[in-house]
Each structure stands twice: as structure tokens, then as C-alpha cells.
Structure 1
């Protein structure tokens, strides 16, 4: 377009052309940009369908929007907002602003899996033009509200480079994280995309950031301007930023596709509804109002643009709480700018006496019956064939005269200094600073007042802005330290309105969130209220609170930390508390609770889905699946889900080829076994199969784990703990102990810690005696080449207490010998390693060592001088001690417990019962176990403390064998079997 039809902007074109020639020395690109901007303004102004350009969260835009809606009373309002969010806007009346309309997808289809979850939000504040339009349309009979922007699905379709990156919240950034990782849909994105232009504007405007520039040079002048001036100035700004933006790239294509999409939807609606464009208004960002696409306007050509179909992703919609800080963080605005805008909005309403629109029943207003709407189906996106789309007729209102020339040439109207307002700010900031620990005084209030005026004068302002006041307060009060939790800049933000946090009403919550509120009602808490509340549960006097306890434990499992935190009471397998105390902050974490409602209709359903997702995920390990089984038992009472997940854990275990999760597997299997043995009549089939399969699985991996350098000693100890701890159950289920013995025999570790672990396993299996183990430890200390590595052997012995807790006395002896014999150069560097090992990897084993040391060492300091360690005391001769005194005990055993003795005789292979037949009879009885069950007799001899094993050297009597080969064992067993 080279000129307007009635020459309304010809004078402005001439002035800009002269200015471009004088500035650039002749026609060039600058002239094209300036004249093109005028063409964009002229084109937008003449459009029959009124375009109302806005800036997001701008009080001037909201004020102009409210004023224009009352003047024109349009019948159709087209709004730049995701069209699939339309059904949710009526729920805004049940909320306290600011809130955000959200589209959420937990599982994606048609997008990369790593993008999940997807979230799109559109925040709403009362000081925004889009909220004024929504409130007008929803509460005015006969008005249609049509959302015309791309759907949430297309937001991600049209931005293939988008990969949501988690933003780590900074300290004190809890409110800024209300939107999470959501993609913000902003109406009126008015910020230069040309970095040099923004830098130029900030430098010459003598401001620090874009929000301050916009407030000073756009907000204040436009707040009192008429409708035509407002529109033309906003068109001009949008055209300037658009023409100076980079001319190629993905973002430009997306912007143009959005404009084609919106104009296509509007023409479809006009054709289908027969609405008159003169009775409609199109609310969009000023950046998109200055569009140059072919589809622009009701008379625009359809072109070749077509809307791609949506993917198979299922989207959930809801309202989440928002805050001023969250909006600022989402869209890169300066901290406190939304709060300052809210304060400016309130002041503008008082000054201009404009009545804003507010949804009935919201924020303290009286609720009235919803107005009848015409054509409610218009809220859903319509489709029409290109042939059915006819250009709208009617010229609409006459084109407005040129307001830009006068606005651009007129010097800024300087507001007079409002001393009362500035003085009030100064006094209040000093009062707030005192409450926060600053040593502020009346002199500081005067200094802030005068410095604000000084800064405004240095920046060519007649009236200090809130930003000038903020800088003055920081300069005069903060000094060099922040004594409290908030700095002065934050105190000013609170003074200017604070970080207002929205709230979603009960009626607008999803079914799951409402169900949580209903089930926690017996607690008598205000769950909508932000902050921490204390809940006391006495399940003895009030049994109905057990259901509340179940809900709180599930919320603790599902919601972020702090939403439900137990102070007293715990929930473990087989245990239930009778009294509990909780810190509940559900109102603070309302967004997380709402997003939880997108996953299901009840907490139990969501928890079951999450447990399945964790157990069947591609990265799931055996420990992960067992953790899911434990949670299913704790929160869902086990049953079918626990059995299903347990069977899946068996499959995952069979496919694992590493031992990384062995410690966690051992811990969880032990707890589950203890629970089922005490709480169930029989063990579930899956856990029996798991023990049987795990026994064979770890026997197979044991030799490799001993040699593998990546396998830690704690992991190998956990494997041995599983094998030895589950051995009795595994053998009863049909496993063969020879497999374990063969696996240990094939293990040849090179690392000292694993070598000590192997020795402990051999002692447990009986292939290595305790005396031989002590001798090996002594040899290590006697070898000067091995002494530096002795602490590593001790680390292995400490971990060996996991599979072989009976070696606690040997470990105490080895540690004592180390303290007594190791040189300081070896001992002192090893002590931190010992402490670290006990604290990080073997904290649960420390009580064993402490208890054993307390039993061995003297309890009083006076007895320490005469104390002789047990391992250094002389050994007892044969026939004394335990063996000599076993005879009377054997008599008592036979006399008092004949049935038990018969059972032992049966285990030893003896026919009939035990009888007191004297030493000769005992020798005859002993012939059967000595000749037929040598392994069993070896175990009996070990229990009796006798050295050596049993052996059959011939077919003679057992007494001859015992006397010839093992006199100590023979005398001990003879004493037990003898009639003293």
C-alpha cells in the first residue's frame, strides 16, 4: 500500500519522508521502514472488523479495553487465545486472580517422548485486556466469545525445536515456580526482537530494563489517551517491532502461521454465523495487529494455508494458581513489574472513573445467575469449506483521522509531583525495613524522598516512578548488608502491591482434587488456604481419621515435598501408627494437586498408574520394581497389584546382568519376607519364586562380581547376604547348596576387601575355620609388604557382617589388633576411611560391632589393666570347659525333654529314641552319625566348639574313630550322650 484512500496519513508520510532524507542523506531503507509503518497503521485502522491491539498485563490496554467495550457493546469478541481452552473460561468466576488456564498432556503421541509432560498456560490478571474481554463476553447476554488462536497441540507442532528445559528455582523462588516448565501463551508480546533496538531504547530512555521503559514511555502517556490515539500508537509500536525483527527464521514463520490461522478462523465464524464485522472486535497483540499476510482482514484471500490435524496426544485442561512473580518469570519481565502494573491499574480506575468488567461471583462480588448465551456452540472451533467463506460486507465505522502526528509532535505531559504519595511510600518503606531488621530511621525516609526526586530529575522525569523510588530506597536503606530474609528491592515490590497469588475455587477443581478436600474434611483444616497447617490425628478416639491418614500418606507419596509432611508417626510394612501429627500445605501446592487430577479421578487410581509406570518403565531395575511392590502394600493394601508387580520383579531379576542394585534388593526382600511371614498365613507364590530364582541368579553372578572391578564390596556383600539369608527358604524350595559352594570355590578376587569377604563366606560354608581365619589375619600383620593394605581387608570384614553377622567377634579382634600393631603412618590415614565406610556403606552394621565390643571389653576403667583379650587367653585342655560340663547338661536334656532328643536323634539318623545307657551305649549310638552323616556331625562338632571334623576311618566302632581322630569332639558328644 502506497497511500491511504482518503489521505488521512499523507501529512505524516510527508513528515517522515523528510525526516528520513535529512537523517540518512537521501532515500534508503530507513525511509522504507518509516513509510511502511504508516502503511501498516493505515491498513489496520481501515479494517472493517475492529482490531484492538493490546499488550499483555498492561493497565493502559485494560483501561482502553474496558472503556471501548462499554462504548461499542460488540456482539462477538474474537480473542487471541488457544481455541481448545474455551470451555474452561467460565470457571474463572470460581477463582481468585491471578490464575492460569492450562492445557496439560502427561503422555504424548506424535511428539518425542522426552518432551513429556507438555504444558501450555495462559495467565490471567484483572489488569489485563484479555480478562476484561472475557468478563464482558461471559456476563453480557447475547455476546459470543470465540477463541481463534492455534490449539495447544499446534503450539508444539509448529515449534519442533522446542525442548522444555527445567528451570532450577533460585532461593526464595517458590512462587515464581508456580507455572513449572509450562510454555506461556502471551497475548500482546510487545518486546523488541532486535537486540540493538532494545539496548538503544534503554540507554536513551535512561532506564535499566524493558518493563521500566514501557511504563515510562507507553503506559503513562496512553493511560489518558482517547480510543483512536491508543489504537494508532499501539499499531505503530507493533509495526516498528515487527519490521525491525529478523526477517527470516522459524519464529517469523510461526508468527505468520498464527496470523493466518486466526484470520481463517474468524472468516469461518463470520460465514457460519452471519455476524456483521462492524459488531465484532478482534483482541490481539499489537505485534500481530500489524500483520502483512495475505489472509489479513475479512476480505483477505484464503491462499494456500491449511491447518494441520492434531496429533493423537490427549490433552487435559484446568485452572492452576498463578502469581505476579510467576508471570514475571514466565515471560522475562522485570521483578515487581506486574505488581507495579496492578497498582497503576487501581490508580487509573480511580482517576478516570472507568468501571471495569469483573466476572459475577468472583473476588467478593455477588453471584448471579449465569446469563443465557446465544449460539453456545460458537465456543468450539468451527470448520467451513472455502467455498462457504464469503467476504464480510459493510464498511463498518468510518476511518479515524490521523492522531499519530499530533501525538508524536506533542511534548510529554509532565505530571506534577504527588508529594503525598511519594511521602507515603517513603514512610512505609522505612517501616517495612525496620520490621525486616534494618536500622532505618526517619532520616532514611527523608533521604529516600529526596533521592527519588533527584533520580527522576537526572532521568528527565518530573515525577518519580516506582522504579525511581525503588532505586532510591536501595541506595539509602540497604547499605552493604541484608539483615533479614528480604532485601529492600523485594520490600518495595511488596509495598507496591506484593506478589499476589491466585487461588482456584473448589468448584473449578478437577474431581480428584475435590475428592481430596472431601476426604480430609474431618481434619477441620482450611485446605484452600496457603501456608502450613498442623493436623493432629488420634485414631484411637476417632477411628474415622484412619481414612484421612491414608490420604495424607498417599499425598506425601504423590505430591512435592512439603505438601504433606509427617511430624509424628510412620508407615512401614506391618506397622500402623495410632497417633500422627502432620504439617499440611495443600493450598500452597494447589497446582501440583490439580495436575494430579489430570492423571485420574482418585488418588488410588493415580498411585496405581504411577507404580505400574515405574515398574514397567524401560529403566526399571529389580530394586525399582520391589519398591513399587512395597508401596502397593503400604498404600493400596497389596493384593492383586502387589502380586502382579512381584511377578514382574521376578522377570526383571532374570534379565539383569549386573549387581548394582543388590543392596537395595536385599533390603526390600528382607522387609517383604518379614511382612508376609508375620501378616499372611502363607507366603505369596511370587516371593517364593523370587527367592528361588534369586538364589540361582546370584550364585551364577558371584564369581564374576568378585573379579569385576566395577562391583563394589558392598554390592558383593549384599549378594552373599541374599544367598546366606535366604538359604533356608531356598533349600526348602528345591535349590541345591552345592551350587553356592561351587560358586564360592570359583571366586578368586584380587582386591583385599573382596578377599576378606570371600574368607568370611568360606567360614560360613565351613570350608575355613575361625582359627584359620585368625591365623590369616595375623599373617597379614606380620608381613610388612601387606601391612599398608590391611585396612582394606578390615573394610571387607566390616561389610562381611552383612552376610555373616556371627563373625562380629573376629572383626572386633581384627580391628583391635590393627589399633595395637599398625604403625601410625598406616593407622591414622585409615581411620577416616573406616568412619566413612561405617557411616555411608555400613551404618546398619555398626550396632553389631558396638554390641560385640561392649561384650568383650571391660565395662570399667579399673579392670582394663588386668584385662586379657579372649583371643590371647590360653586354650583349655581337652576334656575341660564346655565338653567336661556337658555331661550333666546331657542328663538334664534327656530327662526333661525326651521328645526333643528323639527329634535330634532322628535328624542324626539314629533309630528309636535316646536312652541313658551309659558311655558304652553312647558309643554305639554315635556309630550311626559318625559313619552315615559325617557332614551333620561336623556341624554338631562346630556348634560344640570342637576343632576338626568327624571322619570314618574304617568300619570299627564310632568310639574308636572319635578317639583316634578327634578326641575333643568324641568327649563332647560322649558327654552329651552319656548318663552321668
Structure 2
């Protein structure tokens, strides 16, 4: 290899490219400028005193070349293209199982648009990546310094254009690729990805041209076939110059998008500025340094490029006031593929190629001490290998480009093993595959490779052959053959963050759930059984699980048996726990606080004090505070805020939810507290006046539904006794009902029910109005809407259930089929959509009124048609007796004469101070006669 200051000559290559440009373009033009400019970029990068090592993200060839170069050169400083504020986290990789992602997280955006929050930046790291080799070398080699030089996480969003993230939309893979499972592909969620070596054409026509002429389906396959394989065994100089050339090609043919180009160039200026600052501060010789960056940024043309570049043309802007938190989250091959637009299975295939490359080249990779259960290395620091003298001709590109592709011999044993294994996997997943299919896959793989000018089938050729020969017409299970091949080639390896690298909250969760004696850090579902009666100490675990259910995504903690409601606690619980699968969500909880209680309290306050929060939202937060946090401090504070929110509302949209939650809270406080909290008494008092004020408007408002108005009346009637005891005036409700004049039939029926409840309308008058509706042919078509209002009225006035049953029965009994059948579907759909929760009350009342057997129906008389006994007959008879006794006392002579004529010989009886005639018994026996005589005597009243 040439020394860093030695000039590199590419004269021969320039001449060849000029001849090629003249041949293809017919003379000097833009093509010649592009080709010669690429050579200039390579020449400039090779001559840079600070050695630049270009890489491609998750490339086995880059990782192999990096491991070889690190053992040869043994640099003292490694500059790495990674967010500079993530440096403290890299030592925590020892406690993890790769792949994992380094994450910067901010729950609140201070200096960015509020709709961007939460902010998240992730940088995934796998074993088959050059950056991991550099990190492992620097952290485990004494005297070596690792310096991250890329823009900070804050600058990632400062330079973000919101429309162009790390993956260009034009760079997405073909839509027909097999999709990874959602849980695995979503490990990075909506985080912005930062990768080392984003090497992909940004010129759509160029990528299409390469894919078509390369006879491949997607970019990952093209890169594997035409870059990975040729560079896998190349020497260091050849590798560097080829990667410089590819990066320069893609850069010069990138579209002239100002924002994207500006961000790329600013990143390069940022990195070179940071490197020069470190060199000046540390006094390190550039020859002892190694700069690891993506090939796209290696062949840079900015003025700040190199250790001798411009020093006063770029100023790094200060960071915003956003508070960033950092941690490690689990990653997976599928998550990396989904985030960076790679073909499904490409990262798994790269991992397999990395393992095969290590065996083939016998390169010893760097692995962090103690990582992933590996034994600690006892080997001492190895001395730097002697660097061979550079040959006279340092131009390795000319020979590489003229060299014909190496045709690898067919490895029949490997291909045969693949064929047998995929048939075995297909049979396990429901395919009717046989030995004949294995032979077909073997032969078809060779055939496809030959059609694509390849002597040795690649994993992608084998995948296409397996799909063609096995899948046939349908997929019997949940996995297709393409996915089975990906699994067979290495599968979707999912990383895990070790206990020591978890934030305090996550460690606290594992510690508090330790009595369950489950391996919760592992992926998959674990069943937890809690007998709280036999083991009261598990109550603390139950509290943690219910909070996790409230805070984590669905499926992380799922109750199978047991529930938690206000005033209720289960004595036995059963849970399905998948904390290992949702480790990322648990880690991100740690960014919000140091304990579950703190995070839950913060979230409840955030929900309650949100500018868009409604009264129902705040009451839900109060209920959750009582359920999960215990005590009354938070609940009372949020309840007081609910009172303020209610006072400021001018709509009734949330009335049903407010009614439901207030009833539940009142029931809880009345059974568990000696006195009601002050806030809920004020809430009932204020709510009574508030809804009385809004009631007339809600009856007229077309946007207010009948269910919302019914909920208002339900609040007023159910809370009336408490509100009146607190000083409210019932006249306010009576005036509100009197001022209500709805036009909607459903609301009109609801108003009638309210008037019955208040006593301003009798039940008999309500029946008469219903009969008038059925007799009026102009109104009968709207009768289902009146019934809808009556059914909703069962909420605030449940005593009207018999009247509603009567109204429905009269309609079915009196209306002819020509009228009944057209609006019957409307009645059913209206009740189902608007009053489904009240229908059971109506059905129970109907079951009580109607006969239980069909035979009794013929002789059954509806209660509303049967003769009604006078409930005051006995009282009236006693009143008549008292009236007759008074009459006889006033006319004793007449009484004696009548008694004598009737044969009653008994005289007057003395009882205390008054006298009573013995004819009282006679008057009692003949009350009608008594009334007639009294009327004749003019003594109708006494």
C-alpha cells in the first residue's frame, strides 16, 4: 500500500474512460465529465492523509475488509460515522445480544413542531457490520480511542424536511416481497433511522437499468451478486478504490434535489470539522487514525474535505432545548429491512454470508468481551502486522474492472442440503412436498442461475426455485415458501438488551415481578398464575401487571382471569406476559421516569391537562388514578380540574360518558369513604346547573343526538337528590324543561318522559298523546322515531318501561300491515344503532307483561285494557262512613225513626265525650243509601 502522502496515478484509467466516452457518446460530452470526475473523486480520497475506510451498511464484505484492516494497521483513533451524542451507550453493547439499536429519544419537542413528538433516532448494529467491528476493536483494545463524528440526534431533526427520511420512497423494494411479521418489523416503530453506509442509487432510472441488465429482481440481490461476491476476497486497496468509485457514481448521478444534497454535504462538513477539532486538540498523527464512513460520503467534494480542508466555511449550529434520553432497544433483521427499504430476508442472508466468509477467509473478527454469553478472551493485545510494501502500480481499479467475473464452482452438497431442508420445512407448514420437489428445486436453482449468467446459484436463485416448485397454487399455512427460505437461511434474528443495560424503570419492573419466578426477559408468552388469597405477597405483582397493561402496548400484559374495577379486587388472576417481545416499549417507559407510578401519574396529568381534553377524559384519568395509584392525592387534583373543564364546555357531546363515569365514582366513594370528596360534591352541584342551562339548547340543536340529551336528563334526575341537598333549586330544572321545544320526534318523546318524571304530565295524558300519534295518518310514519325517544327515556326515567311496551304493542296491534311493514326496518335499525344498551330493559318489561306460554295468549288481556280497580275505593268508603256518622249526630231524631222502621232496636252508645249511633253499622253496609240521603239533605260535605 502506498504511503498517505504519495500521489496516486490513475492516468491509464483516465485514458480508457475517455476512449469509452468517445465511443459511446460520439465525442466529449457530459458522459466524459462524469467518468473522469469519478476517477478524480477516487484519486482525491486515496491521497487523503487520514485513511478513509468506505463501507456499506450491513455488508459482509465491508465487515471482513474492516476486520482485516484493523488487525493490519492497529489505528490509535477510530472516527466513526455515528451520532456523536450516542457515544456513551456503546460500552453497554457488552450486555446485549445483537442485533440491537442505539436510540436517542425525546418525549417532548422543545424547538421543533409539537406534532413531531415524540422524537426518536435509532442506529441498528449487527454482527455482520463494519461499524460493529470498529466498535469492538476500539472498546477492547487498550490505548485506542473511539470518536463519533456524525451530527447529533438533535441536528438530525434540525435538518429534517419531514418529507424525506432516511429511506427514500423511490428506494422501496418491490411490493411483492414477503412481508415480515408485524411485531418484528415494528421494533423500530416510527423512529428515524441512522445507518453507516447508505449506498443505493438515488437515480431511479439507474437502478432500473442495473436491475434489468443484472437479471435480478431487487437492489439487495444486485448488490450481493455484483459487489459482495467480487469484493469478498479482494485486497484492501482494491476494496477501497471500488467502494470509492461506487460512491462517486451514485453521488454524481443523484438527482439535483437541493434539500437532500444540502443535508448530505452538511453531514460531511460536520464530520470533517469534528475530526479536525479532535486532531488539533489531541495532537494525534492522522496516519494513526482511521475514518469509517459510508462510501457515499467518502468521495466527498465539499471544501471542508480532508485534514487540510477549509476550516472557516462551516459553523455547527447549537442544539435546541430538547431533552434527549439515550438507551439500547432490541432490533431484528426484519426491523432493519423494513426501516431502510431492504428486501425481505436480505439482512439474514448477509448474516449467513458473513459466517461463511469467516470460515473461507479465516479472518478473526472482533467481538466485545463477554457479549451474548461468549467466553472472555484471554488473548493479549496482538502486535500490528507488518504492512506490505505497496507495489509500483497503485491503480487497482483498472485491473478489477477488466477482470472477468469469477465463476464459482457449483457446491452441490450445499445446494442439495438447501433443497432437502426447504422440503422438510414446507411439509411441517402444511405443503404436500415430497422428494420429487427437492429434486425439482435443486435442478431449477441450477437452471435459473444459468439463465442469469451465474455458475453458482445464489440464495435468491434458490428462493425463486423453491417458490416455483413447492408453493404451486396456494399457501396452506400462515407462512409462504419465500418466508420459509428466509427462516432456513438464518431467520429473523432478534436482539435483546441485557439487564445491566436497561434503564432503572425496566430493571425495577423485572425486580418487582421476580416472585412470579418466570423468565420474563425471554421472548414469547409466559403464563402467570396469581393466587392472591393464598399468597398475599403477590398483590404487589398484581399492581405492577395492571399498570403495565395500562402503559404498554396491547399484548405485553394481557389478563386472562381477573379484573380490576372501582371497589373490586380479584382473589385469583391469570396473565399472559410478553415483556421480552415488547422490550422496546418497556425501555421507552424508562425514558419517562424511574418508576411505573411516576410514569403513570405523568401520563394521567398529560391526558387531563391536554388542551383538547374533555370532561369525560379527565374523569377517566381520575378513575385510573384510583385504580392503579391508590390514595386520593392525584384523584382529587384531577377531579378538581374536571370541574373546571366541565364549566368551560359548551357542548353535550361527552354527556353519556360523563354520566357513566360520575355514577361509577359516586358508587365507589359512597361504599369506600365515610364522606364524599369535596370535588365530587362540587362537580354534581356545578353539573346540575350546567346541564340545566344547556338543556333547552340541546333539545333544539340538530347536532345533539337523542342519546346525549337523554344522558343530560339522566345526570339531572339521578343526581337530583344529592344536588338538592347541596343547595340546588329544582325550579331551575322545571324551567329548563318548560323552555324546551324540540322539533325532532325522538327528542319530543324524550321531553314528554321528562315531564312525566317532573309531574307536569300524567301517565294518562302521555298514553293519550301516543294514541293520537297512531290515529294521525300524517304522523304515523314518524312513530318509530318517537319510540326511539321513549326507549332512550328509559335511562333517565326507567319507570316508564311499561308505557313504552304499551306504545310498541299498540302500534303492532292497531296499525295495518300496509303501514306497519314499511317502517318496521326503520324501527329495528334505529333501536339497534341508538339504544342497544337500553333494549334489555325493554325486553325484561315485555317479558313481565306478556304471557309466558303461547296457549295463554288467546285469553290474555293487556294490562292497559283491563278494567282498572279504584285504588282509593277503601279510603273513599271510610270517608263516607265518617260523613254519615256526622249526619246522624246532627239529626238524632231522624236517625231513631229510620232505625225503628228498619227494625234496629239498639239505642245510642256513649264513647268518651262523643256519642255514636248504633246505626253506623247500617250505614257502613249501605254506603250508596247514605250518600243519597246526605245529598238530599244538602250535606255533601262536612
Report the TM-score when normalising by structure 1.
0.86
Residues 522 and 46 from structure 1, CA distance in 2 versus in 1: closer, same or farther, beyond 3 angstroms? Answer: same
Match of 2:672 among 641, 663, 679: 679
Asked if the contact 2:120/2:192 (under 8 Å) is kept, the reply is yes
- Is residue 2:854 matched to residue 1:854? no
Q: What is the CA distance between 1:397 and its match in structure 2?
A: 8.8
Asked if the contact 1:787/1:822 (under 8 Å) is kept, the reply is no
Aligned with 2:291: secondary structure? strand
- Is residue 2:504 matched to residue 1:511? yes
Q: What is the CA distance between 1:712 and its match in structure 2?
A: 0.3
Q: What is the CA distance between 1:43 and its match in structure 2?
A: 0.9
Q: Which residue of 2 aligns with 1:822?
A: 815
Asked if the contact 1:115/1:163 (under 8 Å) is kept, the reply is no
- Is residue 2:50 matched to residue 1:49? yes
Asked if the contact 1:45/1:399 (under 8 Å) is kept, the reply is no
Match of 2:484 among 468, 491, 503: 491
Q: Which residue of 2 aligns with 1:775?
A: 768
- Is residue 2:438 matched to residue 1:451? no
Q: How many residues align?
A: 869
Match of 2:187 among 155, 178, 181: 178
State which drifts further: 233-242 or 631-640.
631-640
Q: What is the CA distance between 1:158 and its match in structure 2?
A: 1.1
Residues 110 and 794 from structure 1, CA distance in 2 versus in 1: closer, same or farther, beyond 3 angstroms? Answer: same
- Is residue 2:149 matched to residue 1:148? yes
What's the CA shift string for 1:644-682, capped at 9, x where partnerless? 100100000001000000000000000000000110000
What's the CA shift string for 1:298-332, capped at 9, x where partnerless? 11121320000000000010001111010000000
Structure 2 residue runs of 5 or longer lacking an equivalent are: 170-174, 382-388, 881-910, 916-938
Matches within 5 A, 1:25-40: 25-40=26-41
Q: Which residue of 2 aligns with 1:121?
A: 122
Residues 69 and 708 from structure 1, CA distance in 2 versus in 1: closer, same or farther, beyond 3 angstroms? Answer: same
- Is residue 2:206 matched to residue 1:192? no
> Alpha carbon RMSD of aligned pairs, Å?
2.5
CA distance in 2, matches of 1:836, 1:369: 77
CA distance in 1, matches of 2:34, 2:376: 51
CA distance in 2, matches of 1:409, 1:52: 24
Aligned with 1:866: secondary structure? coil
Matches within 5 A, 1:525-544: 525-544=518-537
Structure 1 residue runs of 5 or longer lacking an equivalent are: 373-395, 888-916, 922-961, 965-969, 971-980
Q: What is the CA distance between 1:439 and its match in structure 2?
A: 0.9
CA distance in 2, matches of 1:260, 1:854: 82
Q: Which residue of 1 aligns with 2:457?
A: 464
Asked if the contact 1:82/1:152 (under 8 Å) is kept, the reply is yes
- Is residue 2:546 matched to residue 1:553? yes
Residues 767 and 263 from structure 1, CA distance in 2 versus in 1: closer, same or farther, beyond 3 angstroms? Answer: same
Q: Which residue of 1 aligns with 2:89?
A: 88
- Is residue 2:373 matched to residue 1:364? yes
Residues 89 and 873 from structure 1, CA distance in 2 versus in 1: closer, same or farther, beyond 3 angstroms? Answer: same
Q: Which residue of 2 aligns with 1:911?
A: none
Asked if the contact 1:801/1:808 (under 8 Å) is kept, the reply is yes
Q: What is the CA distance between 1:172 and its match in structure 2?
A: 3.5
Asked if the contact 1:741/1:765 (under 8 Å) is kept, the reply is yes
What's the CA shift string for 1:710-755, capped at 9, x where partnerless? 0000000000000000000000011010000000000000111000
Q: What is the CA distance between 1:832 and its match in structure 2?
A: 4.7
Q: Which residue of 1 aligns with 2:691?
A: 698
Q: Which residue of 2 aligns with 1:644?
A: 637
Match of 1:245 among 245, 254, 257: 254
Asked if the contact 1:278/1:397 (under 8 Å) is kept, the reply is no
CA distance in 2, matches of 1:669, 1:540: 31
CA distance in 2, matches of 1:517, 1:5: 58
CA distance in 1, matches of 2:275, 2:379: 26
What's the CA shift string for 1:271-294, capped at 9, x where partnerless? 111111111100000000000111
Aligned with 1:581: secondary structure? strand
Q: What is the CA distance between 1:963 and its match in structure 2?
A: 8.4
Matches within 5 A, 1:486-635: 486-635=479-628
Q: What is the CA distance between 1:836 and its match in structure 2?
A: 4.5
Asked if the contact 1:77/1:281 (under 8 Å) is kept, the reply is yes
State which drifts further: 711-720 or 424-433.
424-433
Match of 1:227 among 222, 225, 236: 236
Q: Which residue of 2 aligns with 1:341?
A: 350
Aligned with 2:372: secondary structure? coil
CA distance in 2, matches of 1:845, 1:172: 42
CA distance in 1, matches of 2:318, 2:62: 34
Asked if the contact 2:180/2:344 (under 8 Å) is kept, the reply is no
Asked if the contact 1:228/1:400 (under 8 Å) is kept, the reply is no
Q: What is the CA distance between 1:875 and its match in structure 2?
A: 2.2
Q: Which residue of 1 aligns with 2:301?
A: 292
Asked if the contact 2:81/2:293 (under 8 Å) is kept, the reply is yes
CA distance in 2, matches of 1:754, 1:963: 46
Asked if the contact 1:622/1:661 (under 8 Å) is kept, the reply is yes
Q: What is the CA distance between 1:570 and its match in structure 2?
A: 0.6
CA distance in 2, matches of 1:963, 1:165: 100
Aligned with 1:174: secondary structure? helix
Q: What is the CA distance between 1:877 and its match in structure 2?
A: 4.3
Residues 848 and 271 from structure 1, CA distance in 2 versus in 1: closer, same or farther, beyond 3 angstroms? Answer: same
CA distance in 2, matches of 1:398, 1:630: 78
Q: Which residue of 1 aligns with 2:701?
A: 708
CA distance in 1, matches of 2:696, 2:85: 60
CA distance in 1, matches of 2:453, 2:852: 84
Aligned with 1:567: secondary structure? strand
Q: Which residue of 1 aligns with 2:16?
A: 15
CA distance in 2, matches of 1:843, 1:171: 40
Residues 437 and 77 from structure 1, CA distance in 2 versus in 1: closer, same or farther, beyond 3 angstroms? Answer: same
Q: What is the CA distance between 1:855 and its match in structure 2?
A: 1.6
CA distance in 1, matches of 2:273, 2:745: 76
Matches within 5 A, 1:53-452: 53-162=54-163, 172-367=181-376, 401-452=394-445
Aligned with 2:238: secondary structure? helix
CA distance in 2, matches of 1:788, 1:474: 62
Q: What is the CA distance between 1:162 and its match in structure 2?
A: 4.8
Asked if the contact 2:243/2:295 (under 8 Å) is kept, the reply is yes
Asked if the contact 2:527/2:574 (under 8 Å) is kept, the reply is yes
Asked if the contact 2:75/2:288 (under 8 Å) is kept, the reply is yes
Asked if the contact 1:121/1:185 (under 8 Å) is kept, the reply is yes
CA distance in 1, matches of 2:108, 2:353: 42
Q: What is the CA distance between 1:160 and its match in structure 2?
A: 3.8
CA distance in 2, matches of 1:175, 1:825: 60
CA distance in 2, matches of 1:883, 1:446: 105
Q: What is the CA distance between 1:835 and its match in structure 2?
A: 4.5
CA distance in 2, matches of 1:362, 1:700: 68
Asked if the contact 2:50/2:306 (under 8 Å) is kept, the reply is yes
Asked if the contact 1:228/1:403 (under 8 Å) is kept, the reply is yes
Q: Which residue of 2 aligns with 1:382?
A: none
Asked if the contact 2:7/2:47 (under 8 Å) is kept, the reply is no
CA distance in 2, matches of 1:108, 1:249: 26
- Is residue 2:471 matched to residue 1:478? yes
Residues 416 and 686 from structure 1, CA distance in 2 versus in 1: closer, same or farther, beyond 3 angstroms? Answer: same
Aligned with 2:864: secondary structure? helix
Report the TM-score when normalising by structure 2.
0.89
CA distance in 1, matches of 2:261, 2:74: 34
Asked if the contact 2:166/2:193 (under 8 Å) is kept, the reply is no
CA distance in 2, matches of 1:313, 1:485: 44
Q: Which residue of 1 aligns with 2:921?
A: none
Q: What is the CA distance between 1:46 and its match in structure 2?
A: 1.0
Residues 756 and 882 from structure 1, CA distance in 2 versus in 1: closer, same or farther, beyond 3 angstroms? Answer: farther
Residues 344 and 368 from structure 1, CA distance in 2 versus in 1: closer, same or farther, beyond 3 angstroms? Answer: closer
CA distance in 2, matches of 1:46, 1:165: 30
CA distance in 1, matches of 2:6, 2:276: 24
